[in-house]
Amino acid sequence: MNSWIAAAVTLLSGTALASPALAAPALDGVLVDNVEGVTPDGRGGVERFEGFLIDPEGKIAQIFHKGDKRPKKVAYKVDGKGRIVVPGMIDAHGHVMATGFAKMTLDLSMAKSLDEALSRIAAWTAAHPEAPWILGGGWNQASWGLDRMPTAAELDKVTGGKPAWLMRIDGHAGWANSAALSAAGVTATTADPAGGEVLRVAGSKAPAGVLIDAATALVEKKRPKPRPEDADTAFGEAQLQFLAAGVTTVADMGTSIEDWQTFRRASDKHQLRMRIVAYAGGIEAMQLIGGPGPTPWIDDDRLKMNGIKLYLDGALGSRGAWLKAPYADDAGTKGLPQMSSTQLGNLMSRAAMDGFQVAVHAIGDEANATVLDSIEELSQTYKGDRRWRIEHAQIVDPADIPRFARNGVIASMQPQHEASDRTMAEARLGPQRLAGAYAWKSIAATGAKLAFGSDTPVEPAHPFEGLAVAISRTGADGQPMGGWQPQEILTREAALGAYTTGAAYSLFAEDRLGRIAPGLRADFLFVDEDPMTAAPQALRGTHVLETWIGGRLAWSAAQDGGKAGVRR
Ligand SMILES: [Zn+2]
């Protein structure tokens, strides 16, 4: 085995390298040859190739097609043995640390009923007597067939006197037991905070157990914070998951100063194995991380802070998404904005003033219209290449769709949400308001840029699953036949583009990431399915064989022994 491959493999086993420079001897280049290569061409199509040359800096130097002359003298040759090569996937919206912590805390995402969730909680509690709090998440009352939220009383039965705090799968609601509510001082006299709601026991003011959106902060403030060493472990878990799934770059949405320090610690130890572009969770974190403006790319383009992530509304599942008209399944509410449009405009302006990129979470049609209003207004003052981002853009009034392109707004969307949420969306919105739901193709057709991601840990960070949904509008069960709202099915070129070039554009990184092309970083994957031809179900089951970042092997299925596995 060539020494630098050995060094990369050593990295896999967790041994820190003294310096990345030592791991990369002076090379004339690495020739990757005999592959079935496919990459977006940057003009909406794809390009096929047979090989490519990587320069000593880890960038693509040259692409080879059939019959092209290869260089004679290279430092090392990788024989692709006819395997398929695609660019590293970019997850344009994920939560890196939450993805890692989800592995380390109580995970309820597989529970199919309230009873099953309660028995998992009881088992975890018994197995972790040392834990001061019972922490975790992933629950979804909709998938339990429950038409209400779970309660503190139900949680009390399996947790005893120990505080328990469990986040809903979408991160927009938390389920507390009585001990957690009392630790947080949430009582019948606690008012609902702006942008949040304390659910109450029917016919009384007593808290019922579930706190929505801004109200979750009441308990979040009181729960024990993870130690830096726990964060390091969680981050290691997260990196492994991304690399195993073929994600080479992730946009971290809502980075805290502690998260940033975790990324920096990994970088200092040369253990930052993937690329992260951070969007700070609020103005304070933005200023602490970036100071007067976005950070430069550091650590060989592995880390950068671009801007800020703001929340305008909540999620459909907890009826926190802000709609233009009442919910079809609850006429008493239109959901709730987490701030006024004036407050939103002020925060966006505060960030834009110092050149930070702005990404705003908007799920409901009223929330999307409000963010588009703010962008329209701020674009008068903050000119130039701003790349305003709307995160999710799930339910958009068809009348508002053309406004994305008009203001150069990037629609940062997550195909897997469509497959997971379609029946819930039908219930929440009714049949009349689905025309602008998960409307990838309509939004792209107006000329707006799409950037795709997973919202991990809400959905698995698995871009090939997302690609399968994007080209079929069907779920893992192949349902519904022909696809849900099939007019929004994307071409393979458009779907692959949204996970690569489109996502890179959304990060101001199209000059270095997203394609296998000269001058760009050599981030690529060996996979066992061709994304241009595989049937949706085969595409969903794509195995990532090797993940290369900056021209070096960062992860391989053979070395990992399948331990990391790929969730799907
Ligand atoms: Zn998110």
pLDDT digits (tens, 9 = 90+) for 237-248: 999 999 999 999
Say whether pLDDT at 21 is over 50: no
Sorting pLDDT into bands at 50, 70 and 90, what band is 26?
Answer: very low
> What does the pLDDT read at residue 64?
98
State the average pLDDT over residues 451-469.
Answer: 97
What amino acid is encoded at 325 in this protein?
A
Residue 29 to residues 4, 23, 25, 85, 419, Cα–Cα distance (Å) = 12, 14, 10, 18, 43
Q: What is the mean pLDDT of the chain?
A: 92
> What does the pLDDT read at residue 150?
97
- Paired with 99 in beta bridges are none
Q: ω before 457 within 30° of 0 (cis)?
A: yes
> What does the pLDDT read at residue 364?
98
CA–CA distance, 41 with 44 (Å, rounded to integer): 7
- Between 12 and 383, the more confident residue is 383
Centre of ligand 1 from the C-alpha of residue 450, in Å: 16
> What does the pLDDT read at residue 8?
41
- Residues surrounding ion ligand 1 at CB below 5 Å: 455
CA–CA distance, 304 with 507 (Å, rounded to integer): 10
Say whether pLDDT at 477 is over 50: yes
The pTM of this model reads: 0.88
Of 124-128, 367-371, 372-376, the poorest mean pLDDT is in: 124-128
Say whether pLDDT at 392 is over 60: yes
Centre of ligand 1 from the C-alpha of residue 95, in Å: 6
Centre of ligand 1 from the C-alpha of residue 8, in Å: 31
Centre of ligand 1 from the C-alpha of residue 90, in Å: 15
Centre of ligand 1 from the C-alpha of residue 458, in Å: 7
Q: Identify the burial level of 15 via C-beta atoms within 10 angstroms of its C-beta, where 0-12 means exposed, 13-18 middle and 19 or more buried.
A: exposed
Centre of ligand 1 from the C-alpha of residue 566, in Å: 20
174 token code pair: 């938390």
Sorting pLDDT into bands at 50, 70 and 90, what band is 297?
Answer: very high
> What does the pLDDT read at residue 221?
93
Measuring CA to CA, which residue among 502, 497, 523 is closest to residue 301? 523
Dihedral sign of CA atoms 173, 174, 177, 180 in order: negative
Measuring CA to CA, which residue among 548, 500, 494 is closest to residue 524? 548
Q: Where are the alpha helices (DSSP H) in 171-303?
A: 178-183, 216-220, 228-244, 257-268, 283-290
User: Do the beta carbons of residue 525 and residue 87 sit within 8 Å?
Assistant: yes
Question: Distance between the two ends of the chain, CA-based, in angstroms?
Answer: 32
3-state secondary structure of 26: coil
What percent of the chain lies above the pLDDT cut of 70?
A: 94
Say whether pLDDT at 548 is over 80: yes
Q: What is the pLDDT of residues 180-209, one digit of tens each?
A: 999 999 999 999 998 899 999 999 999 999
What amino acid is encoded at 45 in this protein?
G
Centre of ligand 1 from the C-alpha of residue 358, in Å: 14
Say whether pLDDT at 560 is over 80: no
Q: Please, which residues have CB within 8 angstroms of residue 65's CB and are 6 or more apart in sequence?
A: 48, 49, 50
* Strands of 524-527's sheet in order across: 46-49, 36-40, 84-87, 524-527, 544-549, 552-556
Q: Identify the burial level of 384 via C-beta atoms within 10 angstroms of its C-beta, where 0-12 means exposed, 13-18 middle and 19 or more buried.
A: exposed
What percent of the chain lies above the pLDDT cut of 90?
A: 86
CA–CA distance, 496 with 19 (Å, rounded to integer): 34
State the average pLDDT over residues 469-491.
Answer: 97
Centre of ligand 1 from the C-alpha of residue 253, in Å: 6
State the average pLDDT over residues 63-73.
Answer: 94
Say whether pLDDT at 12 is over 70: no
Say whether pLDDT at 317 is over 70: yes
Measuring CA to CA, which residue among 350, 338, 339, 343 is closest to residue 287? 350
CA–CA distance, 245 with 567 (Å, rounded to integer): 8
Centre of ligand 1 from the C-alpha of residue 381, in Å: 28
Sorting pLDDT into bands at 50, 70 and 90, what band is 116?
Answer: very high
Centre of ligand 1 from the C-alpha of residue 298, in Å: 24
Measuring CA to CA, which residue among 547, 553, 524 is closest to residue 23? 553
Say whether pLDDT at 5 is over 70: no
Q: Identify the burial level of 110 via C-beta atoms within 10 angstroms of its C-beta, where 0-12 means exposed, 13-18 middle and 19 or more buried.
A: exposed
State the average pLDDT over residues 119-145.
Answer: 92
CA–CA distance, 528 with 533 (Å, rounded to integer): 12
Centre of ligand 1 from the C-alpha of residue 189, in Å: 31
CA–CA distance, 450 with 456 (Å, rounded to integer): 18
State the average pLDDT over residues 372-377.
Answer: 98
Say whether pLDDT at 462 is over 80: yes
Measuring CA to CA, which residue among 137, 146, 136 is closest to residue 115? 146
Sorting pLDDT into bands at 50, 70 and 90, what band is 561?
Answer: low
Say whether pLDDT at 22 is over 80: no
Centre of ligand 1 from the C-alpha of residue 370, in Å: 19
